[in-house]
Amino acid sequence: MHLTWGGVDCLELAEKFGTPLYVYDTGIIKARCREIRDTFIARWPGSSAHYAAKAFMSRAIVRVIDAEGLGLDVVSGGELYTALSADFPPERIEFNGNAKSREEIDFAVRSGVGRIIVDHPDELAIIAECAKNYGRVQKVLLRVTPGVDAHTHSHIATGQTGSKFGFPLEGAILRDTIRAAKAVKALDVAGLHFHVGSQLFDPQDHISAVDRITALMRDLKAEGFITRELNLGGGFGAVVNPSMSPVKLSGFMNPIMSRLTERCREFGLETPQAIIEPGRWIVSEAGITLYRVENIKELPKVTYIAVNGGMSDNPRFALYQAEYEAVCVSAPDAPAYDRDGGTHVSIVGKCCESGDILIDNAKISRLEAGDIIALYNSGAYTFSMSSRYNCLPRAAVVFVEGGKARVVVERESYEDLVRGQSV
Ligand SMILES: Cc1ncc(COP(=O)(O)O)c(C=O)c1O
């Protein structure tokens, strides 16, 4: 039996649309959105969720997220443009990022985004100027660095002291910025934002951050600033294989929200409206990537399975040793092959880098050149991080659901590679 995804035979997908191919089961994405609505938004009055578009951005995912009633977190003018081009309501967009340009801020304010997450004091004067120009009052949250060392790879930890993201909790800069912003009529300083890091499997880091931020909220209240909204970031982990139990959002949000409520009660604060911005948890497990095996090289200590993509469509192993599992789509249940007891099997790409690895030490059945493999759990930070390294055209994206497939991002051609270039 062949592997199917969203009710569609993966071998047929590879034949029809070519490889490498990103394939998303939109049924899984919608189920995640529903879980957010049912277990978080319905439970905590005033709460909301913004999908972190950086995990996978395209016009088609924007339509899914809008239809599911979530907000959108964007971090660049390009992401904002993509969202607006697919008719996403601007008031449900928040604009994040640690190095926004004047043009991006102007675009965001002009478009009427719901919130801008301020990461540097210099942004405020620009936001205020734009808001005045467009006759708006712009809601902003200030991103703070909670000073928590998240239990994850250092490249995807963001909340530690010394991080490039956010305002440090200590020192005068945060207080001075709040004071200055409050004095500007064109700004509505609604609260605070933090993001501890990504690919987390228990709520402890968020809870540690809540402990520190609620103490800050207490101090700020004494200085006349009320935190009406608190954005708790994303970071909820994605498992590597569909046979593993997915992370339950309630396993994160119930303890985090209980702690937030408890601490606010203890400090005599009104519990702020909570916002979350998950990325990978919504799309990672919905996505697989199909590759064709080009050749197999059996060396004495290692077997290399070389496929027709690699770090150009998925740089995540090269960046931070992301873990994956893969199967042969024509024999997904076949036992893992072990050449001579303990041979190292490495699934590698076609790019000219030794670090171009998709899975180091893969457990996969015996393969032959021409086989199609599926890399599970590859829906997040793959298409969105893809490059044209080695002049490899970007792969296509297909949405599948209920046995039907449709292309939502076309495969690039060689002509696309040279478009806009002069000699
Ligand atoms: C500010 C912010 N919010 C949300 C996210 C989404 O993280 P994840 O995909 O792990 O949920 C990130 C990831 O980098 C982030 O930096």
Secondary structure element (H or E) that encloses residue 79, with its range = helix 77-85
What is d(CA 85, CA 50) in angstroms, rounded to the nearest whole number? 18
- Ligand 1 atom with minimal separation from the 55 CA: 9
Structure tokens at 16: 């029809």
Can you tell me the mean pLDDT for 264-280?
98
Say what the pLDDT of residue 163 is.
83
* DSSP-assigned letter for residue 228: -
User: Does ligand 1 lie within 6 Å of residue 198's CB atom?
Assistant: yes
What pLDDT, in 10s, does the model give residues 127-162?
Answer: 999 999 999 999 999 999 998 887 777 777 777 888
Can you tell me the mean pLDDT for 160-174?
88
CB neighbours of residue 383 within 10 Å: 25
**33 catalytically annotated:** no
Say what the pLDDT of residue 155 is.
78
Domains and CATH numbers, the chain: 97-276 (3.20.20.10), 287-412 (2.40.37.10)
CB neighbours of residue 183 within 10 Å: 9
Which of 212-230 are b and which e, b meaning 16 or more Cβ less than 10 Å from the residue's Cβ? Answer: bbbebbbebeeeebebbbb
What pLDDT, in 10s, does the model give residues 291-338?
Answer: 999 999 999 999 999 999 999 999 999 999 999 999 999 999 999 988
Say what the pLDDT of residue 178 is.
95
Distance from Cα 36 to the centre of ligand 1, integer Å: 16
pLDDT above 90: residue 183: yes
Say what the pLDDT of residue 148 is.
86
Say what the pLDDT of residue 156 is.
75
Distance from Cα 413 to the centre of ligand 1, integer Å: 31
Q: Which of 202-216, 236-250, 330-344, 372-386 has the lowest average pLDDT?
A: 330-344
pLDDT above 90: residue 33: yes
User: Does ligand 1 lie within 6 Å of residue 55's CB atom?
Assistant: yes
Q: What is the mean pLDDT of the chain?
A: 96
Is there a cis peptide before residue 246, judged by omega within 30 degrees of 0?
no
What pLDDT, in 10s, does the model give residues 50-106?
Answer: 999 999 999 999 999 999 999 999 999 999 999 999 999 999 999 999 999 999 999
341: confidence class by pLDDT, cuts 50, 70, 90 = confident
Q: Which of 141, 198, 232, 239 to mutate to test the pocket of ligand 1 (most atoms within 8 A of CB)?
A: 198
